[in-house]
Amino acid sequence: MAEVIRNPDNGQWQSAVARLAALLRGRRTVVLAGAGCSTESGIPDYRGTGAARRGAPVQYQEFVRDPLARQRYWARSTVGWPRFSAARPNEGHRALARLEAGTAVAGIITQNVDGLHQAAGSGNVVELHGSLAAVRCLACDSAVSRGEWQEHLLAANHAWAEQVGGVTAETAPDGDAVLHPDRVAEFRVPGCPTCDGIMKPDVVFFGENVPRPRVEEAWGLFDHGEVLLVAGSSLTVFSGRRFMYRACERGVPVVVVNRGPTRADEIAAAKVDGPLGVVLPHLASLLA
């Protein structure tokens, strides 16, 4: 098990990051990024240190089968989208982009759906779980941008939006917001603009399989790496954890930067437990 350095304000963390840099230097690194990359941009997570009890994430089968589940999701998303879409990359995102520009990082496999890696300048990004920036019809497969879909949602709920506009709502991890059930019950969900079918955000919900072409793309990127850097992921979800398993099978070193425990802690060659917006920029400066 790697030595774990916590609380990167105590002076030990710089030597820990130096050990990370020594493991990465001269090796092609692939990053597996999780929700912890985006918490410093104001997007909360479900499991990380400081995560609130925000309830269970939306389940795929429930969303597809239950009109009330779709009503709840889209009502919450209508309120949460403006704040979510206004999020900007933080220092951790920008550090990963610098590492890619300097060829230390071959690319990023991200479990996030916020597009902040690309906004920071990262070019080779596989969005394992899709992107909230698009919405797709489950019937005819037509797609619209999330911004365009927001206009449809507001047009179908003009009076509702005026009433809810003044309500302070806590931001939730799925790009939505916490709403009282009475507010949700008044919401109307429009159908697909093309065929009136069910519209779903173009992301992988819990209980839904990652599309095979995307998995193959992620494995293709993984195969280019000589080190796996886990950044901001607890590796609780198997869709991300499998890359750690493959790294172990191949003898590829795994290094971790995360707040709190991860499933890789027992096998990591090195770990720093600290804010990514502090640790990653220092790592980038050492590898520049």
Integer-rounded Cα radius of gyration of the chain = 20
**Alpha carbon distances (Å) from 255 to 241, 242, 262, 276:** 13, 15, 11, 13
Q: Which of the residues 117, 129, 152, 282 is marked catalytic?
A: 129
Which neighbouring-strand residues pair with 99? Answer: none
Rounded to an integer, what distance in angstroms lies between the CA atom of residue 99 and that of residue 219?
20
Sequence-ordered list of residues with C-beta below 8 angstroms from that of 170, at least 6 positions apart, any chain: 52, 54, 177, 178
Dihedral Cα 265, 266, 267, 273, nearest 10 deg: 20
Neighbour count for residue 107 (Cβ, 10 Å): 23
* Closest among 110, 89, 92 to 31, alpha carbons compared: 110
Which neighbouring-strand residues pair with 143? Answer: 136
**H/E segment holding residue 143:** strand 143-145
- Catalytic-residue membership of 282: no
DSSP readout, 77-128?
Answer: HHHHHHHHHT----HHHHHHHHHHHTTSEEEEEE---S-HHHHHT--SEEET
Rounded to an integer, what distance in angstroms lies between the CA atom of residue 122 and that of residue 99?
9
Lookup: tokens for 142: 């037509």
- Name the residues annotated as catalytic: 129
